[in-house]
Structure 1
Amino acid sequence: MNLKSKILAVLAAGTLCFPQMAMARHAADSGATTVVHVEKVQHVPAAPKEGEQTNLMQRIRSILDTADKEQKQEPEAVAAGRTAKPLSNELTRWEMESRDEGGTLLFSDSPEYVDTNGILYQDSVQGDARVLFYHLNNSSVPRKLAVVLKNEYDGPNEITITRSGNGAPSSDYLKVGKATQLEYFRAEKNQKLSLPKGTARLIQESMNMTILQPGELTYGVFDFHAEHSVLVTVLMLDAYGDPVTAAEELPVLPKDEMRLRGTFKGMDRVMSAKKIYNPQEDGGVYFMLADDKADKYRKGIDATDGSQVTNYGNYGINYRLELPVDNGGVKYYLSPLGGVYAGAMRSFHSTKEYTLFPTPGGRTYFGNLTAPETDEVQIRREAGHWQIEQGTELASLGQSNGRGETVFEFSPPGASNLPVAIVMLPQK
């Protein structure tokens, strides 16, 4: 996410870009990609156990093939108090309502390109919390990034790590972003950390041995519960320095122009469909995530100077998407509309067991084949009507069958472009 791209992204209300050098690195990669071809349907299958991408236009054409049959059944539907809706490749917006809840998010992404040692973000929390860091070693020497927890309570304190993801540092930013999300969504944890009175320690001991070479990115997310107040410090320091000592001695570094750091109350967002989805009546539908229109960006406070900040992209916010279905089969997809994208999601279908979906499956990233929207297409989509264009890429998020509720967990991945659309399509 270079500075020029990020400024353009904010002006575009929701498109966050990663460095152009990463784009060049990935341009030569190959992998299974699903693209909508209007004239010719083509699909190269990906690994089936990794949420492989599926050709949406092929599904739409299958629906169109059965449209005549459904039209003949319309009188029976009307008699039952329902109106059958013709299906086409134009999707309609599915209305969602949202609420923010949960603990406190500490977000550290400014300065993103770190040239020297210093504190990147710092604030005190108690109870449920999440810390997200996204920083690149922009110096000419090896360094390391650390998160230090300092007990502020006048007695012993206990920290419980409930979930975490921290991809290995790399100059392949998309790979780091995806690896972090896959680890974060894979499983919950119950790791106990004891903090006696007046002590401090790393949130993860391996940070002390993880070296960032020049040009490498590190990205991590840690959910935890603190019985009493702890001071959380995200810092960059010498490769062989002591993080606990450095957290006491180093100055707070000035933020960059994007000011992407801060403390945000309510670290989780629950989005629920306003009505139950009936695939045969409602047809193909979509809703947007992290576009700052249908899904608004969060506001917070930079604890290092007291200024108000905006989380452009809602990074570190964990979404719970609640999608009740009346009857019939439904297929779900994610489509990146801002550019190249690499992340992960997981879903629950009326059980406690979940399915993990790399987005995309079978390769590191996708979205590079989806052409930028024209002004006309964007205006219509924001008004509630989205025409699937040639070249649109989608990643499969599985399917559901029969009456019930499908729940997805999603969080905007670091190094990827936003916004994204979630698509729900009737299954034949």
Structure 2
Amino acid sequence: MKITLGLAIICGTMQLNAQTIKSEEAISLLKAKQGNVVLLKDFFAIKPADIKYNKVVLPGPQFIISDDPEYIRIPEGIALKEAVQPGAVRLYVYNVNGVKDPVKIDRKITAVIKNTGKGKMHIRMLKYSSQKPSTNYFQIGKQGLADYFASNGNEQVRVVEPGAAIAIDEQLERNVVKYDELTHGFYDFVIDQPGEINIIQTDLNTPGPVALKRIKTVIPTGHKNAGRGLFGVSNYKVTAVDVLDTKNGAAEFVVADGVKDPWVLGVEGTSGKESTLAGNYGVIYHMEMKWKSTDGKGLALVTWNSRSGDNQWCNGMAATMVVGKGKFNEGIVQLPNDRLATKGAPEVILIQVFPPAKNGEEQVIKFTYSPPGASCLPTPLVFVPVDMDLVK
């Protein structure tokens, strides 16, 4: 994940033209395929209007993230230890094999759950995303979200005896994680006994549950990355306050900036201290906006890398969203899908085009967003009025 020193924090200062778009740029958007990068050379001038929104915490799973330390520098240790209660759990694993002293060595990074209750634990996966370890963090970030959004889980129920432990993801048990490679897993599951989740780095030949019995070291937090702990929010409902009218020009949603949308707070289990989820990575935003067209124009929804000029960590951005039907069908779209990542202005990524209603009545746009791992934040979601008649 990227923020300052490894993850993204604050909104960039690059600005967009909130009033007009040149015909040739509108044509470029209207001719582009969904998810493709489009160059808008004359569009970056004036900041678009902010879309004011209400944000409500939705019921959701207990949420645990493991990203501090992001780079696990010792050969064997526990990077996270958190207690969970019966019910739904979301686990986001984002850890890198950082062992290089005295030499770089292959490692295993795995997630283990221990049954701390008195009865048998039953665990079932509701949603699942597990990526092959790689140094291509952008690809892992956007593919990980795409797989999570597409997942329907499975009906398999695994049983864990009291006091016993199992691997949450058997694929992590088999992975070979080379130096500087990222382990990325995103899981929603349900349990019926209290448990303890551990993220472990160990050797390739030792199963995670076996390693858990012998490892005594819980690596201290460094407070340099997204965070570590059990957090109080996993899902938000974001609703625009006003009806967007295309006659008023471009406008943007900005979430996950740490300012107007503060970072989620939680508790780090080992120390008992407050923890901050810098970036709100793993939080799912269910977003909704009403709009109308009193001038006959449609809306193009785009995003871009607003942090490209900040530092070396922010020179690229890649994301994934679920967007409602418009010119393109409803569904999951990787951003971008014609290359690995977008750089910065004048590049934007086309997410969807929404045609105006024939009678000018209000319409509702719904989409699902989660801050993309490995990218600096925020990634503004910009609605640009476009004359649909320019392309027949």
Q: Same fold (TM over 0.5)?
A: yes
Aligned to 1:105: 63
Identity, % of aligned positions: 24
- Partners of 1:152 and 1:230 within 8 A in 2: yes
Aligned to 1:153: 117
Q: TM-score, normalised by structure 2?
A: 0.81
* Residues 172-187 of structure 1 mapped to structure 2, 5 A cutoff: 172-187=136-151
Q: Cα gap change, 1:43/1:283 in structure 2, threshold over 3 Å: closer, same or farther?
A: closer
Aligned to 2:15: none
Establish whether residue 268 from structure 1 lines up as the match of residue 228 from structure 2: no
Establish whether residue 240 from structure 1 lines up as the match of residue 205 from structure 2: yes
Query: Which ranges in structure 2 are unaligned for 5 or more consecutive residues?
Result: 13-20, 309-315, 388-392
Deviations 1:216-244 (A, max 9, x none): 11112111122332221111111111101
* Total equivalences in the alignment: 353
Instruction: Give the 3-state SS of the residue equivalent to 1:420 in structure 2.
Output: coil
Establish whether residue 133 from structure 1 lines up as the match of residue 133 from structure 2: no
Match of 1:200 among 144, 165, 186: 165
Q: Cα gap change, 1:285/1:176 in structure 2, threshold over 3 Å: closer, same or farther?
A: same
- Partners of 1:51 and 1:356 within 8 A in 2: no
- Partners of 1:98 and 1:270 within 8 A in 2: yes
Aligned to 2:377: 418
Aligned to 1:396: 350
Q: Cα gap change, 1:412/1:4 in structure 2, threshold over 3 Å: closer, same or farther?
A: closer
Once the two structures are TM-superposed, the CA of residue 286 in structure 1 deviates from its matched residue by: 0.8
- Partners of 2:34 and 2:351 within 8 A in 1: no
Aligned to 1:359: 335
Which amino acid in the other structure matches residue 357 of structure 1? V
Q: Cα gap change, 1:124/1:191 in structure 2, threshold over 3 Å: closer, same or farther?
A: farther
Instruction: Give the 3-state SS of the residue equivalent to 1:321 in structure 2.
Output: strand
Match of 1:53 among 37, 49, 59: 37
Once the two structures are TM-superposed, the CA of residue 56 in structure 1 deviates from its matched residue by: 5.0
Once the two structures are TM-superposed, the CA of residue 279 in structure 1 deviates from its matched residue by: 2.2
Once the two structures are TM-superposed, the CA of residue 332 in structure 1 deviates from its matched residue by: 0.9
State the distance in 2 between where 1:3 and 1:181 align.
18
Aligned to 1:330: 299
Q: Which has the higher helix share?
A: 1
Match of 2:135 among 151, 162, 171: 171
Q: Cα gap change, 1:47/1:245 in structure 2, threshold over 3 Å: closer, same or farther?
A: farther
Deviations 1:323-355 (A, max 9, x none): 2234563221112212311121111349xx841
Establish whether residue 252 from structure 1 lines up as the match of residue 218 from structure 2: yes
- Partners of 2:97 and 2:107 within 8 A in 1: yes
Q: TM-score, normalised by structure 1?
A: 0.74
Match of 2:287 among 321, 342, 347: 321
Q: Cα gap change, 1:348/1:188 in structure 2, threshold over 3 Å: closer, same or farther?
A: farther
- Partners of 2:130 and 2:171 within 8 A in 1: no
- Partners of 2:64 and 2:90 within 8 A in 1: yes
State the distance in 2 between where 1:323 and 1:239 align.
49
State the distance in 1 between where 2:155 and 2:373 align.
25
Query: Which ranges in structure 1 are unaligned for 5 or more consecutive residues?
Result: 16-36, 62-87, 371-390
Q: Cα gap change, 1:226/1:354 in structure 2, threshold over 3 Å: closer, same or farther?
A: farther
- Partners of 1:167 and 1:180 within 8 A in 2: yes
Aligned to 1:369: 344
RMSD, aligned CA: 3.1
Aligned to 2:183: 218
Aligned to 1:91: 48
Instruction: Give the 3-state SS of the residue equivalent to 1:425 in structure 2.
Output: strand
Q: Cα gap change, 1:207/1:6 in structure 2, threshold over 3 Å: closer, same or farther?
A: closer
Once the two structures are TM-superposed, the CA of residue 404 in structure 1 deviates from its matched residue by: 3.0
State the distance in 2 between where 1:120 and 1:357 align.
32
Which amino acid in the other structure matches residue 66 of structure 2? S
